[in-house]
């Protein structure tokens, strides 16, 4: 079926149920950002492949609301259907609900699948739509009525993530969570976020592309725990290991029926921001609403994890050096290749590194104007041919048993214009300023975000995305709760604490011409000199393209940072390279005068 045919079929189903509108989130029963194929409802009904957006379909209109990262992408992907792209101006306001209230009359019914929205989201929508006397219906799944060939749940095997990498045993993690339960007087805690579960149990899977997680729920009691997962996915050795830590394996579909076995006076700790409304509504004992402790424990990397992260950055940098060397050799010899082919080449060089598992996200290789499409992903059939002119934006990452990487570099393939050098230098100086910052304990990511934007603002420039996101340890490349962004989101309000690994990625994008972004991962740590202060350490290792820099705009301090960073990159990566890449790489790490 075409997109328009799918929309028409959904409207037929809506009429049969008396629904005036349907809202589709694109999430899953675990509130994941990236979801398994079986839960790609938003992509299936709209054709939009981005990771953020809300679809609303009424009986006569269809729209997608998404943020500035996806404006250009959405315009292209929706162009062949009746689906209209609405630019989300304030990402913290439900602008699609305002649109619905303007379109529908009092008494109208709006349907959602309650499994795909958190309890907090449903309550917020009920209140918002209720102001216009519009009813929210959430015990329904209208997409499944028409998506007849929906893929089945993945059944990929689960495997152990060794303590030598994790730095903390499963038993110790469960003990920490139970201690938090005791503090709050809870008898149980329900974990529903897939990365929380994987981290807690030191297990990994491959149910979601690029994210080493497995579809499950975890119910932790004071002495025992139950992992709700498709049993066919659990090898005997994993089952035995779990049993040794008093973790019982139960069928994924048994969670809600098991709630009925719990005494009503028991208290279950649940995070309403993550737990889907259908599961939340089925809990028949007392509910204690509280943030998931696993989310915060997981964010603060331990010394073992940080040590591995630093090691993995060197081999990841070596893979990139081999890839960029290959790129220059191809261009110098006059051989043509596409953005997609270069993306595959980066993956190939990463796959040659020890303990490599796969990509941490689909590579963003944006040549010339495609660089301005913030989350552009090259397609094998329609990606640009890269030639020896202009600039190239490369945002990629790898999953290794010993860490997750995410790095962006923008390189010149011919002498850049003064405009490009000026913008690049403002971006670079902002990245340096944030990475070098010293700040008191209790400082949030929202308070630090301006440091990365200040030099762009001085030129009347800006970028529409956040400056940074948390990064998992051989887990999701986008990991809550911390980050660097303005506004009132969780990322903005979360306090930076020692061990938090966060991306630092300011950028600038000129629509239809080029994009610039530079990204390092930085880890927060206690300041070595000032008590009650923190600072950051850059852990990503790969040199910055000096040819893109306006040296006159760099301060002596900026240049000193760059030269020290380049020496650090050279010392860590050069021993991992072979000739002639070594000689080439030495030039890339040259100091700035």
CATH number at residue 370: 3.90.230.10
Q: Is residue 154 part of a domain?
A: no
pLDDT exceeds cutoff 80 at 413: yes
Query: What values do phi and psi take at 68, rounded to 5?
Result: -65, -20
Residues 6+ apart with CB under 8 A from 170: 200, 201, 202, 241, 245, 247
Instruction: Say whether both 198 and 312 belong to one domain.
Output: no
Residue with tokens 């214009």: 417
Residue 384: pLDDT above 70? yes
Number of domains comprising the chain: 3
Whether residues 293 and 312 fall in one domain? no
Tell me the C-alpha to C-alpha distance, in Å, between residue 471 and each of 32, 474, 498, 507, 523.
15, 9, 14, 19, 10
Same domain, 133 and 174: no
Does an H or E element contain 582, and which?
helix 581-588
* Confidence (pLDDT) at 92: 66
Judge whether residue 348 has pLDDT over 90. yes
Half-sphere exposure of 125 (CA within 13 A, CB side): 25
pLDDT (average), residues 148-166:
97
Residue 208 maps to a domain: yes
Q: What's residue 72's pLDDT?
A: 85
Query: Using CA atoms, how far apart are residues 155 and 218, in angstroms rounded to an integer?
Result: 17
Cross-strand bridge partners of residue 399: 358, 404
**Statement to judge: residues 293 and 307 lie in one domain:** no
Is the residue at 593 inside a domain?
Answer: no
Which regions of 320-406 does DSSP assign to beta strands (E)? 337-338, 356-359, 364-367, 385-386, 391-396, 398-400, 403-404
pLDDT tens per residue across span 536-554? 999 999 999 999 999 999 9
* pLDDT greater than 70 at residue 91: no
Res 89: pLDDT: 81
Q: Is residue 114 part of a domain?
A: yes
Q: Are residues 363 and 477 in the same domain?
A: yes
Q: Which residues pair with 533 in a beta bridge?
A: 440
Q: Is the peptide bond before 321 cis (omega within 30 degrees of 0)?
A: no
CA–CA–CA angle 360, 366, 369 (5° rounding)? 155
Could you tell me if 74 and 186 lie in one domain? Answer: no
CB 530 within 8 A of CB 568: no
Confidence band, pLDDT 50/70/90 cuts, at residue 382: confident
Q: Are residues 230 and 325 in the same domain?
A: no
**Comparing C-alpha atoms, which of 360, 369, 409 is closest to residue 389?**
369
Residue 212, in any domain of the structure: yes
Give pLDDT tens digits for 116-156.
999 999 999 999 999 999 999 999 999 999 999 999 999 99
Element (H, E) at 407: strand 407-412
Residue-number span of the structural domain to which 281 is assigned = 159-297
Shared domain check, 490 and 368: yes
Q: What tokens does 344 get? A: 């595959």
CB 410 within 8 A of CB 534: no
- Does residue 333 surpass a pLDDT of 80? yes
Quickly tell me which residue has 């082919």 as its tokens: 341
State the pairing for strand pair 84-87/62-66: parallel
Instruction: Say if 284 falls within a structural domain.
Output: yes
Helix ranges (H only) for 158-254 are: 163-166, 170-184, 194-201, 236-244
One domain for residues 192 and 64: no
Stretch 459-472: mean pLDDT, rounded? 97
Regarding pTM above 0.85, the answer is yes
Q: 447 with 567, same domain? A: yes
> Model confidence at 268, in pLDDT bands (50, 70, 90)?
very high
> In terms of Cα–Cα distance, which of 517, 471, 484, 202 is closest to 360?
471
173 and 138 in a single domain? The answer is: no
CA–CA distance, 422 with 416 (Å, rounded to integer): 10
d(CA 579, CA 507): 33
Alpha carbon distance 310, 316 (integer Å) = 10
Q: Which of 251, 281, 297 is the last residue of a domain?
A: 297
Residues 570, 427 within the same domain: yes
Query: Is 500 a domain residue?
Result: yes
- Per-residue pLDDT band for 352 (boundaries 50, 70, 90) equals very high
| Separation of alpha carbons 240 and 247, rounded Å | 9
Exposed, middle or buried by CB within 10 Å (0-12, 13-18, 19+), for 105?
A: exposed
Position 462 scores a pLDDT of: 98
> Where in 229-307 does DSSP place strands (E)?
247-250, 267-270, 286-289
- Interval 206-217: pLDDT, tens: 999 999 999 999
Domain boundary among 111, 146, 181: 146
What average pLDDT does the structure give for the chain?
97
Per residue in 356-370, pLDDT (tens digit) is 999 999 999 999 999
Query: For the domain that residue 257 is a member of, what is the CATH number?
Result: 3.40.350.10
Domain C-terminal end among 86, 119, 146: 146
How far is residue 377's CA from residue 366's CA, in Å, rounded to a whole number? 8
For residue 525, list its beta bridge partners: 535
Distances (CA, A) of 563 to 164, 283, 557, 586: 34, 57, 10, 13
**What are the residues whose beta carbons fall under 8 Å from the beta carbon of 152, sequence distance 6 or more?**
38
Tell me which residue has tokens 């000096």. 546
Whether residue 152 is contained in a domain is answered as: no
Please determine, for residue 381, whether its predicted confidence score (pLDDT) is greater than 90: no
pLDDT for res 102 = 95
CA dihedral 262, 266, 267, 268 (to 10 degrees): -10
Q: What is d(CA 538, CA 453) in angstroms, rounded to the nearest whole number? A: 18
247-258, pLDDT tens digit by residue? Answer: 999 999 999 999
φ, ψ of residue 201 to 5 degrees: the values are -95, 0
Which two tokens mark 540?
């990503």
């Amino acid at each position: 079926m075409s997109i328009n045919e799918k929309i028409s079929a959904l409207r037929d189903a809506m009429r049969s149920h008396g629904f005036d509108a349907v809202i589709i989130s694109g999430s899953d029963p675990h509130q994941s950002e990236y979801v398994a194929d079986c839960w790609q409802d938003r992509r299936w009904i709209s054709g939009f492949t981005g990771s953020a957006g809300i679809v609303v379909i009424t009986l006569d209109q269809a729209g997608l609301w998404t943020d500035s990262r996806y404006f250009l992408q959405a315009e292209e992907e929706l162009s062949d259907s009746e689906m209209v792209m609405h630019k989300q101006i304030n990402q913290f306001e439900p602008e699609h609900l305002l649109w619905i209230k303007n379109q529908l009359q009092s008494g109208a019914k709006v349907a959602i699948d309650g499994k795909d929205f958190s309890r907090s989201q449903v309550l917020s929508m009920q209140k918002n739509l209720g102001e216009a006397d519009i009813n929210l219906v959430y015990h329904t799944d209208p997409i499944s009525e028409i998506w007849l060939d929906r893929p089945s749940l993945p059944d990929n095997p689960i495997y152990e993530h060794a303590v030598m990498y994790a730095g903390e045993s499963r038993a110790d993690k469960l003990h920490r969570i139970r201690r938090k339960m005791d503090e709050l007087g809870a008898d149980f805690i329900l974990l529903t976020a897939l990365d929380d579960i994987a981290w807690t149990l030191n297990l990994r899977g491959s149910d979601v592309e690029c994210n080493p997680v497995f579809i499950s729920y975890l119910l932790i009691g004071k002495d025992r725990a139950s992992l709700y997962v498709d049993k066919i996915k659990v090898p005997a050795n994993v089952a035995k290991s779990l049993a040794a830590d008093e973790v019982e394996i139960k069928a994924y579909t048994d969670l809600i029926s098991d709630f009925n076995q719990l005494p009503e006076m028991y208290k279950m700790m649940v995070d309403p921001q993550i737990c889907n409304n259908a599961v939340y509504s089925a809990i028949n004992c007392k509910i204690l609403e509280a943030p998931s402790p696993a989310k915060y424990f997981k964010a603060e990397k331990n010394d073992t994890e940080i040590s591995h992260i630093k090691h993995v950055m060197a081999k990841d940098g070596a893979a990139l050096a081999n890839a960029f060397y290959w790129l220059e050799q191809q261009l110098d010899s006059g051989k043509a290749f596409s953005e997609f082919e270069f993306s595959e080449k980066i993956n190939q060089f990463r796959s040659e590194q020890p303990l490599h598992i796969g990509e941490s996200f689909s590579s963003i290789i944006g040549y010339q104007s495609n660089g301005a499409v913030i989350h552009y992903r090259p397609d094998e059939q329609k990606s640009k041919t890269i030639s020896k002119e202009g600039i190239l934006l490369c945002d990629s990452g790898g999953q290794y048993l010993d860490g997750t990487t995410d790095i962006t570099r923008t390189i010149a393939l011919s002498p850049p214009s003064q405009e490009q050098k000026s913008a690049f230098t403002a971006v670079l100086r902002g990245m340096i300023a944030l990475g070098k910052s010293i700040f008191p304990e209790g400082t949030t990511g929202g308070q630090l975000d301006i440091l990365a934007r200040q030099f762009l603002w001085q030129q009347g420039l800006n970028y529409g995305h956040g400056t940074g996101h948390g990064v998992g340890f051989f887990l999701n490349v986008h990991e809550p709760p911390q980050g660097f962004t303005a506004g009132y989101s969780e990322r903005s309000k979360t306090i930076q604490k020692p061990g938090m690994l966060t991306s630092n990625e300011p950028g600038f994008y000129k629509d239809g011409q080029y994009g610039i972004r530079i990204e390092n991962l930085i880890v927060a740590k206690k300041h070595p000199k000032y008590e009650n202060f923190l600072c950051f350490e850059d852990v990503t290792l790969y040199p910055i393209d000096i040819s893109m820099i306006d040296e006159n705009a760099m301060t002596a301090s900026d240049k000193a940072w760059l030269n020290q960073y380049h020496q650090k990159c050279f010392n860590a990566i050069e021993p991992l390279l072979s000739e002639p890449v070594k000689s080439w790489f030495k030039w890339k790490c040259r100091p700035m005068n």
